[in-house]
Amino acid sequence: MFEPVKIAPSILSADFMNLGRDIALIEEAGAGYVHVDVMDGHFVPNLTMGVPIVKQLKKATSLPLDVHLMIDNPLEQLPWFLDAGADLVTVHAEVLDADGLARAVASIHAAGAKAAVSLKPRTAPGVLAPVISDVDMVLVMSVEPGFSGQSYIEGSEDKVARVAALARSVGASPLVQVDGGIGEATAPLVAGAGADVLVCGNAVFAAEDPARALAEVAAAAEEARLAALAARKEA
Question: Which member of 67, 137, 200, 217 binds ligand DX5 (CB under 6 A)?
Answer: 200
Q: Which residue from 197, 204, 216 is spatially nearest to 33, judged by alpha carbons?
A: 197
| 37 annotated as a binding-site residue | yes
User: Is 37 in the active site?
Assistant: yes
**What is the spatial distance between Cα 48 and Cα 27, in angstroms, rounded to a whole number?**
22
Closer to Zn ion at the Cβ: 49 or 231? 49
Question: Which member of 85, 121, 130, 149 binds ligand DX5 (CB under 6 A)?
Answer: 149
Closer to ligand DX5 at the Cβ: 165 or 195? 195
| 151 annotated as a binding-site residue | no
Q: Does 145 bind ligand DX5 (CB under 6 A)?
A: yes
Q: Which residue from 67, 63, 230, 217 is spatially nearest to 152, judged by alpha carbons?
A: 217
Q: Does 64 bind ligand DX5 (CB under 6 A)?
A: no
Exposed/middle/buried for residue 162 (C-beta within 10 Å: 0-12, 13-18, 19+): middle
Question: Which member of 56, 61, 173, 202 binds ligand DX5 (CB under 6 A)?
Answer: 202
User: Is 179 in the active site?
Assistant: yes
Cα three-residue angle 10-216-185, rounded to 5 degrees: 80
Give the number of residues in contact with ligand DX5, rule: CB under 6 A.
21
CB 218 within 8 A of CB 185: no
What's the Cα-to-Cα distance from 190 to each of 11, 32, 58, 140, 151, rounded to whole Å? 21, 17, 29, 10, 14
Q: Please report, as ranges, the residues that interact with ligand DX5 according to CB under 6 A.
A: 10, 12-13, 35, 37, 68, 143, 145-146, 148-150, 179-182, 199-203
User: Which residues carry a binding-site annotation for a divalent metal cation?
Assistant: 35, 37, 68, 179
Residues labelled as active-site residues: 37, 179
